Amino acid sequence: MSPQPQAAVGAPLSRVDGRLKVTGQAPYAAEHDVEGVVHAVIVDSGVGRGRITSIDTRDAEAQRDVLRVISHRNAPKLPYRDNPGSNNPPGRRLRVFQDDRVLFHGQPVAVVVATTLEAAQHGASLVKVAYDTERPSTDLHEAERDKPTTYARGDADAGLRSSAVRLDLTYQLARNHQNPMEPHATIARWDGDKLTVWDKTQWVVGTRDELVTVFDLPEESVRIISPFVGGAFGSGLRCWPHTVVAALAARETGRPVKLVLSRKQQYFGTGFRPSYEYRLRLGSDRRGRLTAMAHEMDAETSSYETFTETVMPAGQMLYSMPNVSQEYRTVPLDVNTPLWMRGPGFATASFVIESAMDELAHKLGIDPLELRRRNEPNEDESNGRPFSTRRLRECYTVGAREFGWHRRSSRPRSRREGDWLIGLGVAVGVYETQRNQAQARVRLDADGTALVETAASDMGPGTYTSQTQVAADALGLTMRTVTLRLGDSLYPPTPPHGGSQTMASVGSAVLDGCDKVRRQAIELAVEDRESPLYGADADDVVVRGGRLHVKGNPGRGETYRSLLTRNDRTHVEAGGSYAGASKPERHSFYAYNATFAEVAVDAKLGLVRVRRMLGVYDAGRIISPKLAESQAIGGIVGGIGTALLEHTVTDHRDGRIVNANLADYLVPVNADVPDVRAIYLDGEDRKADPLGVKGLGEVVHVGVAPAIANAVFNATGRRVRELPITAEALM
Amino acid sequence: MFPFSYTRVSDTDEALDAGRRGGRYIAGGTTLVDLMRETVERPESLVDISGLPLREVRATEGGGLRIGALVRMAEAAAHPKVRTLYPVISESLELSASAQLRNMATIGGNIMQRTRCTYFRDVTADCNKREPGSGCAALEGHNRTHAILGTSDACVATHPSDVAVAFAALEATVHLLGPDGERRVPFADFLLRPGNTPHREQALRKGELVTAVEVPALPRPLKSGYLKVRDRQSYEFALTSAAVALHIRGGVIREAKVASGGVGTVPWKLPAVERHLVGERPSAALWTAAAEKAADGARPLKHNRFKTELLKRTVERQLRVVGGTK
């Protein structure tokens, strides 16, 4: 087929759902109007480990409007069939109200259901739970580690021994929570044996499969609806216990149940980016050519599930070197299970590797960008595959020019403005280009409008908008005549809306479906004696603004509407699909960036203020430039948080999270957000997927924290290897 | 939230009557409602005093200021008299909370606000302030933001207010109205150190109402200002802070008023620093030497050791900023 003109793709369009959102008409999980809904509030364990010895629910049950208090004492046994899918990590998932064990502080131990939210909340505060308490183990540094996952090429120890220059550095990375604006929430309703759930989730398919297995239901009996997600950053990639609690409470009370986690409950009711201790030994020759890296990573997980993330690949492929060893150990603790958070694994590895590279550059007296250029690999040395595209050198050049890198002095503490020391830093970010099987359904109606349905989510990046752009161009329609529907498990299935794979995977399925529909319409036209296109070569026909015409001869054509109406067709429809990455892959697929930071540090008072940030991205084709810029800004703001503020603090005496609220868990406020700029290199990656995209939601976050830490070093001469960077570390 | 009754009163007699019967006064509600949601506070009866005529800022004879208890933080900060006479008050208010909170919260409520200690705010943790005799989870717990001055074995929680630090520095007076009439309490005596009774936070008698804060006249010219050190640039409580007011005439410091926040169980007046300054000529060396005394008597905890040094540096910096030397 003739390639379609691209009118919408690449245009800096505003969100198609923007008006709905700013006028409050986009329904989020807790906002769906479900008749007869009652309210549930979870009672959290007040101890970090032990057994429940008694639960006194009398006061709660005596409250007017309280319908039921459910705990392990009166909950039905739930099937909890095995479910290796749904992003469940290996292990035995938490089973709500199935026994008296407490596995972590804040674990749900009961739920109060009432006809009003206030009664449910008050009732929950009246439930008295007694425990046989054990001291929990929540300190990463004190606990027994699991056996490592390893990687090796060459001989890292020997390589280090023979290196002219060696660094041996240990980094501490704090636990971070996703903290989306919208709280996690579920509304569950049973109609006989059919369960409908309105949920905050990044994956309606995964949530459906989890509820199917927990309650042992046929797949077609469970429907998950989640049209809008108010931010998630990974926290919606699993079906959490509270969703099961809501469904259970609805079944037990015979009423639709709404359950909204409090802000505090998000800290133990959903996942988090695990804390790490990460030791990196690095060797190079005197000219900065890397000889070896040895990575030892300890990361927290729960006692009941082994959560892992892609923290290893960056150390294997980012720079050229003959010798690499990696040991990645999970450390089971009495905490709830972590989950992916923006740029999972790569953000952690990048902080360590990029901080160490900066340290090496300083030690050798080589410009940090030049050091990276000297270690640029020609292929992915972990598997010998060529890179699909890898344009880091351009990122360095463009970034250095646009940021004014030449103004950086390599000598720390050399630029001062009053009490402020000024420093510049750079770091590289990388994230894998994930592509997985996805499907979409496309229908073109005789009135010339189209409907696209796919189970994917829009947690904020703008899936509605960007997929509409793809569909509009592929169908030859205007944005306004294409409607996209998302977030319903009845729609064609998609992979999780995470890992920056939605455009590559779902977008390719949407493209496929739209191409098929357009082709059907074109074939109908060229075979229709009454069509001006009769007899034309189908491959020469394109569609623009809903009108089919011969390429280069706009006069010869007709609209979808006239074509379908004349042929008595109410619509044309097709299923679109995308098969995912080819297996085995023939190339190495990653998105990259160089991120630059300028900071001001008041070293006496320990204050860091980020003044400017620039990200230069090699992310393949950019479908929606305005949304892509928003993504970059968001990723950078998140990185400022990781670098300077975010830290979930656990009291190891009892496993309690002591800052489980947004006053004490600090995220950047507007005043902390500086001049942020994003540059996406023009281009595409045709080897990755039909759209030529590489994914960008994760990579924009990776590399931000080390760029800031490196700038802090340049400003102060102080190397901070612990995140977040605090006042006390700089004083 | 526990059930409660709610009454709105329109004059002070009505308020005192309700207060005498055990009602809790509520104005902006920015602290109290928060704590009620967490079930830290469980008042049975709330008496809304927002309608009382205590919303005036006026100059007193002799050049001081009287700020009504129900003046909103935002109003007080923007008031021309406050701005010109005591910039330190305006600055401390504007560096507090968020714009939305400053539009709701009152001066009286601000000085009455309760600590941000996370153990105090978590009803499942031990806290002598919330539940006398239960113990102090912060003492051996996570205590980075806690106090290093004025602490006891029963409590190490900081007083969170910024403007109270300015009031303490300026030696303000709290005006109270109770069943037995009016009285005035020096600011230094109004907020109580925890000792063995950390649940007692103010020198208030039953049913007493804060009606105003009066800032005394100080000799002019007076330079003053507030410095707040915190992890993020806005909407956070102080790690350390310094309120400084200096009267310099003929090149000599004649009066010095200095207090710090974020470090004490109450706003921490620094008389030793003040004494060191009075009679001296401003100089960098003087600021350093005076600030050296800011942390006298500090008892740092495991996670807040840095506050001792940070406090000195904060005071030194703000002396320099207000005192105007390089």
Say if residue A597 is in the same domain as residue A571: no
Say if residue A426 is in the same domain as residue A470: no
Amino acid sitting at position A418: G
Nearest to A664 among B118, B229, B239 (CB): B118
Residue B242 lies in a domain: yes
User: In total, how many domains does chain A have?
Assistant: 3
* pLDDT for the residue A352: 98
What is the domain extent for residue A476?
18-26+435-578
How many other CB atoms are there within 10 angstroms of residue A21's CB atom? 14
Say if residue A207 is in the same domain as residue A122: yes
Report the alpha-carbon distance of residue A11 to residue A680 in Å, rounded.
14
Contact status, residue B235 vs residue B97, Cβ threshold 8 Å: yes
Residue B156 lies in a domain: no
What is the domain extent for residue B311?
223-323
User: Cis bond leading into A584, ω under 30°?
Assistant: yes
**Can you give A312-328 as a three-state secondary structure string?**
CHHHHHCCCCCEEEEEE
For the beta sheet containing B268-269, the strands, ordered from the edge strand earlier in sequence to the opposite edge, are B223-229, B240-249, B252-261, B268-269
Place of tokens 């969703």: A243
User: In total, how many domains does chain B have?
Assistant: 2
pLDDT in tens, B101-127: 999 999 999 999 999 999 999 999 999
Asked if B236 reaches chain A (Cβ–Cβ under 8 Å), the answer is yes
How confident is residue B324, by pLDDT bands cut at 50, 70 and 90? confident
Place of tokens 């910024």: B162
Say if residue A471 is in the same domain as residue A375: no
Per DSSP, B157 falls in state P
Residue B201 lies in a domain: no
Say if residue A304 is in the same domain as residue A361: yes
Residue B116 lies in a domain: no
Name the minimum distance, in Å, from the CA of B228 to any CA of chain A: 10
Asked if A279 reaches chain B (Cβ–Cβ under 8 Å), the answer is no
* Domain termination site, one of A536, A552, A578: A578
Asked if B309 reaches chain A (Cβ–Cβ under 8 Å), the answer is yes
Asked if A633 reaches chain B (Cβ–Cβ under 8 Å), the answer is no
Mutate to test the interface with A, among B4, B228, B231 (most CBs of A within 10 A): B231
Residue B10 lies in a domain: yes
Say if residue A490 is in the same domain as residue A634: no
* pLDDT for the residue A68: 98
A359 is catalytic: no
CATH of the domain at B302: 3.30.390.50
- B228: closest chain A residue by CA: A605
Nearest to B310 among A46, A644, A727 (CB): A727
Say if residue A98 is in the same domain as residue A228: yes
Q: What are phi and psi of B140, to 5 degrees?
A: -110, 5
Report the alpha-carbon distance of residue A546 to residue A478 in Å, rounded.
7
Q: Which residues of B touch A666 (CB under 8 A)?
A: 231-232, 236
* pLDDT for the residue B325: 67
Catalytic residue among A182, A309, A629, A698: A698
Say if residue A398 is in the same domain as residue A444: no
How many other CB atoms are there within 10 angstroms of residue A675's CB atom? 10
Structural Rg of chain A based on CA atoms: 27
Say if residue A54 is in the same domain as residue A110: yes
Asked if A118 reaches chain B (Cβ–Cβ under 8 Å), the answer is yes
Say if residue A430 is in the same domain as residue A441: no
Name the minimum distance, in Å, from the CA of A78 to any CA of chain B: 30
Say if residue A512 is in the same domain as residue A565: yes
Asked if B33 reaches chain A (Cβ–Cβ under 8 Å), the answer is no
Name the minimum distance, in Å, from the CA of B70 to any CA of chain A: 25
Residue A202 lies in a domain: yes
Instruction: Decide if A658 and B141 are in contact by the 8 Å CB cutoff.
Output: yes
3-state secondary structure of A608: strand
Residue A11 lies in a domain: no
Cα A191 to the center of its chain, rounded Å: 33
Q: What are phi and psi of A389, to 5 degrees?
A: -140, 145
Q: What is the pTM of this model?
A: 0.98
B66: nearest Cα among B50, B84, B81, B49: B81
Q: Which residues of A touch B125 (CB under 8 A)?
A: 656
Instruction: Decide if A644 and B231 are in contact by the 8 Å CB cutoff.
Output: yes
3-state secondary structure of A511: helix
Instruction: Decide if A731 and B313 are in contact by the 8 Å CB cutoff.
Output: yes
ipTM of the complex: 0.97
Q: Which residues of B touch A664 (CB under 8 A)?
A: 116, 118
A229: nearest Cα among A508, A459, A23: A459
Say if residue A427 is in the same domain as residue A444: no
CATH of the domain at A560: 3.30.365.10
Mean predicted confidence (pLDDT) in B174-187: 96
A423's enclosing H/E stretch is: strand A420-432
Residue A514 lies in a domain: yes
Contact status, residue B87 vs residue B218, Cβ threshold 8 Å: no
What tokens does A127 get?
């439930």
- A105: closest chain B residue by CA: B124
Residue A147 lies in a domain: no
Q: Which residues of B touch A727 (CB under 8 A)?
A: 229, 231, 239, 306, 310
Residue B280 lies in a domain: yes
* Domain termination site, one of A548, A578, A608: A578
| HSE-up of residue A425 (Cα within 13 Å, Cβ side) | 38
Q: Which residues contact A200 (CB under 8 A, 6 or more apart)?
A: A28, A29, A182, A183, A184, A185, A186, A226, A229, A230, A232, A236
Task: Give percent above pLDDT 90 in chain B.
Answer: 98
CATH of the domain at A221: 3.90.1170.50
Q: Which residues of A touch B231 (CB under 8 A)?
A: 644-645, 666, 726-727
pLDDT, averaged in runs of 10, over chain A (731 residues): 92 97 96 98 98 98 97 98 98 98 98 98 98 98 98 98 98 98 98 98 98 98 98 98 98 98 98 98 98 98 98 98 98 98 98 98 98 98 98 98 97 97 98 98 98 97 98 98 98 98 98 98 98 97 98 96 98 98 95 98 97 98 98 98 98 97 96 96 97 98 98 98 98 94
Residue B326 has pLDDT above 70, yes or no: no
Residue A645 lies in a domain: yes
- B235: closest chain A residue by CA: A669
Q: Which residues of A touch B234 (CB under 8 A)?
A: 669-672
